[in-house]
Amino acid sequence: MKLSVKNIQGKDQGELEVKFQLIEDGRGTQAVHDTVVAYQAAQRSGTASTKTVGEVAGTNKKPWRQKGTGRARAGSFRSPLWAGGGVVFGPKPRSFAKKVNARTKQLALRKALSERLKAGDVVVVDDIKLSSPKTKDFLGVITALDLKGSTLIVSSGADKNLTLASRNLPDVALTTSESLNTYDVLRPDKLVFTRNAFEKVEARLAD
């Protein structure tokens, strides 16, 4: 497969041949699912916490004598049955992380990128260099490339002007070729790679 390479004015600058093998069949679907589930699980903070009977503040003294008061038996002010008492089987801080091996992650990324390439959702730009961090200048690039809907810009490295110019746009996100993951590939309507970034992603998928 060959991709047309454009400049930031939207004009053709040649072609780029995709060097990794696209996945044409149903292989990799489960890998994509497992990888996305693991990614979303890892985003959970897992900080919910409740206090057990042994952790809530209060005395161990018996509230009243066992018999003769007419009231129900009670042994602790910290009982889970009482307001302000401990919580039974409540949440505790935990990690929701799921393990996915490197081969599965690589297969998932290749499968996801293959589908986006076949759907025509990938745009390759020779380079995105802004002379100033103005959002107006970046919007000119978006317009020239005819990008509609949510867009992910994948660059080969951090670019201060690009970061500042795009941060006020709710439908635009930035990432680098090293940080690109399966979830990032699937989420936006369009993927915009710089030539150098695309080549680096290809190197990740070369095996």
The per-residue pLDDT for 24 is 84
The per-residue pLDDT for 124 is 94
What tens digit of pLDDT does each residue of 9-26 get? 888 888 888 988 899 888
The per-residue pLDDT for 159 is 86
The per-residue pLDDT for 13 is 84
The per-residue pLDDT for 207 is 64
For all residues of the chain together, what is the average pLDDT?
Answer: 93
The per-residue pLDDT for 131 is 87
In this prediction the pTM is 0.83
pLDDT at residue 88 tops 70: yes
What tens digit of pLDDT does each residue of 22-55 get? 998 889 999 999 999 999 999 999 999 999 999 9
Q: Find tokens 């799921």 and name the residue.
A: 98
Sign of CA dihedral 67, 69, 70, 71: negative
The per-residue pLDDT for 26 is 84
Instruction: Please report, rounded to a whole number, the percentage of residues in the chain having pLDDT higher than 70.
Output: 100
Q: What average pLDDT does range 173-181 have in this prediction?
A: 94
The per-residue pLDDT for 206 is 82
pLDDT at residue 157 tops 80: yes
Distance in angstroms (rounded) separating the CA atoms of residues 111 and 106: 9
The per-residue pLDDT for 103 is 94
**Domain architecture of the chain: domains with CATH:** 2-30+100-204 (3.40.1370.10), 45-95 (no CATH)
Angle, vertex CA 190, rays to CA 147 and CA 109, nearest 5: 160
pLDDT at residue 198 tops 90: yes
Close Cβ partners of 134 (under 8 Å, ≥ 6 residues apart): 165
